[in-house]
Amino acid sequence: MRKVQSRLSVALLFTALALLAFFVTAFLSGQIDFLYRDAAGLGSARNIAQIVALMAVAVMFIAGLLITVPYALQPASFAGKIAKVLPLFLLLAALAAVISGLMGIGSVGGLFNLQGVGQVTFIAAWLGLATVLAVIAVVIAAARANLTAATITSATRATVAGSGLTAIATVAMLVSMVIVATSQPASFGRPGGGFPGGPQEGNRPGAEQNAPGGASGQNAQRPEGTNEPQAGFPRDNRGQNGGFPPAGEGRPEGGPGGGGIGNAAGRFATGGALMTLFAVIGLASAISGLMALRQIPSVTEYASAVTVNYSRQGGLALLSLVGIGLVVLGVMQLVPVSRDNPPVKTTINWDSEQTKTLAYATCMDCHSNETTWPWYTSIAPSSWLTALHVKDGRQELNLSEMDNMPAFRRNNLAQNMAEQIRSGNMPPKDYLILHPDARLTDAQKEDLITGLRKSLGGS
């Protein structure tokens, strides 16, 4: 029995590593889709790989539940119950991160920057940490838990299905790698165009030609030799709002440590190679475990000698989950968060009280020095999210310090804000959850845009 569980744990580990390699590679080489956007078949191959990988994640999550739920229900002392419930808690924490990401929570504002890649958001860090810890805990539980034959059989079959889907995603990723290796990167605007440091050095997107990643199709004018982004709301990690972020935040610049074509393609190839290696080992282990199922006695032959009171153990497991959650929440409160409002240096002469009301409801909390800090901003993780919003918002656009803004940005400020408001990028989704008054109708958006143009001037 232990031999079969060992094969199951190995299959779980390497299949999870393959999926982690896939998503980490997708993040680190996200520019591939843009750099090789003209390559025939690349988009389809990447989409297939992503869809199948997500299906594999769902199946592997089910496999994890098949192991962690029975493990959490096993009788144990208080300390032992905490240890048995912990894998399930981490698995649910990863699921909560996925749901939060789908809701847009924690996707604005970066915890830190990865050189040449871009910002790592709160939700990305949460998902990554929770997933890694959950994988470790589930693998250990699969190897050491006293599981029944029925549980091992179900978990093994689910793992085989997940490993098979991961293998399909790996094939699609390998196809993508071949397409990239045999294709030329796209050019931008001028003859022989390309990114500095790439095969063809030429015009940088967002400098004089249309900004490929911008929120509009208009030319992004900026002074020669500057890396300043267009004025407006914070761009997302793809460089929305007038082109790519500055070097070191995801802009495809060449040079050491930059995110040039060679670096992006290199990260893509390295991640693909790791995924292939892990996927092969995981699939082989899963098939080996499936073959070994014949050696497992039937459920009637392998019955637990201990009668489990599922009502009692379920209640204890639930209390343990709540207890672990409260401890984690308490530890979070120890992380200090700054909630300051610097002096207002620029006073805006609003054209009407309506414009002022709409602006304060939707913009001023994050894009001024007049932030309102409600009670929930003193409780983590809400305090972390709010602080990240405000820090990122003030760095990108601070309406309380417009006098420090270059003239070319000031002139385009109202227009760029209008683009972000109309597109729905601003306010962010997680801001709207706690600020229902910031949900504007189409008519209110147009009123706000008109008022901003009158109040802020420029184009």
108 shares a domain with 148 = yes
Token code pair at residue 272: 């693909």
The Cα angle at residue 22 between residues 19 and 24, in degrees rounded to 5 = 110
Nearest-angstrom CA–CA distance, 421 and 415: 10
Q: Which amino acid is at 56?
A: A
The verdict on 422 and 314 lying in the same domain is: no
By three-state DSSP, how is residue 423 classified? Answer: helix
Would 115 be classed as within a structural domain? Answer: yes
Does residue 306 share a domain with residue 399? no
Q: Are 321 and 172 members of one domain? A: yes
70: which 2 tokens?
Answer: 């029975």
C-alpha distances (whole Å) from 430 to each of 103, 109, 391 are: 7, 12, 16
Of 222-231, 354-363, 392-401, 440-449, where does mean pLDDT reach its minimum? Answer: 222-231
CA 182 to chain centre: 30
Q: Is residue 65 part of a domain?
A: yes
Split at pLDDT 50, 70, 90, the class of 58 is: very high
Average pLDDT over residues 424-428: 85
CA distance 253 to 259: 5
Q: What are the residues facing 210 on neighbouring strands? A: 219
- pLDDT level of residue 145 (50, 70, 90 thresholds): confident
- 316 and 445 in a single domain? The answer is no
Claim to verify: residue 159 and residue 56 sit in the same structural domain: yes
- Residue 121, amino acid: T
Question: Domain end: 332, 361, 387, which one?
Answer: 332
Q: Do the beta carbons of residue 106 and residue 385 sit within 8 Å? A: yes
317 inside domain: yes
The residue among 303, 332, 361 that closes a domain is 332
Put simply, whether the predicted model's pTM sits higher than 0.85 gets the answer no
Q: What is the pLDDT of residue 230?
A: 40
Q: What is the pLDDT of residue 188?
A: 52
User: Is 24 in the same domain as 147?
Assistant: yes
Q: Which domain holds residue 413?
A: 353-456
Q: Give the total number of structural domains in the chain.
A: 2
The answer to whether the CB of 420 falls within 8 A of the CB of 233 is yes
pLDDT digits (tens, 9 = 90+) for 78-94: 888 999 999 999 999 99
Q: Do residues 292 and 421 both lie within one domain?
A: no
Give domain status of residue 22, yes or no.
yes
In DSSP terms, 70 is beta-bridged to none
Instruction: Indicate if 303 and 386 belong to the same structural domain.
Output: no
Both tokens of 5, joined, read: 């569980």
Same domain, 97 and 172: yes
Considering the domain architecture, whether residues 167 and 104 belong to the same structural domain is answered as yes
Q: pLDDT tens digits, residue range 267-285?
A: 888 888 999 999 999 999 8
What percent of the chain has pLDDT above 90? 37
Same domain membership, residue 321 and residue 383: no
Report if residue 53 sits inside a domain: yes
Residue 219 lies in a domain: no
Digit-coded pLDDT (tens) for 203-262: 333 333 333 333 333 333 444 434 444 434 444 443 333 333 333 333 333 333 344 566
Give the residue from 299, 332, 365 where a domain finishes: 332
Please classify residue 321 by burial: count the beta carbons closer than 10 Å to its beta carbon, then call 0-12 exposed, 13-18 middle and 19+ buried: middle
- What is the spatial distance between Cα 53 and Cα 22, in angstroms, rounded to a whole number? 8
pLDDT for 133 beyond 90? yes
Query: What gap in Å lies between CA 363 and CA 407, rounded to an integer?
Result: 21
The verdict on residue 218 lying in a domain is no
Q: Which helix (H) or strand (E) holds 114?
A: strand 110-114
64 falls within a domain:
yes
What is the CA angle 205-208-212, rounded to 5?
30
Round to whole Å and give the CA distance between 133 and 137. Answer: 6
Q: How many CA within 13 A on the CB side of residue 310?
A: 2
Q: CA-CA distance, 254 to 262, in Å (whole number)?
A: 8
295 CB-near residues (< 8 Å, 6+ apart):
3, 4
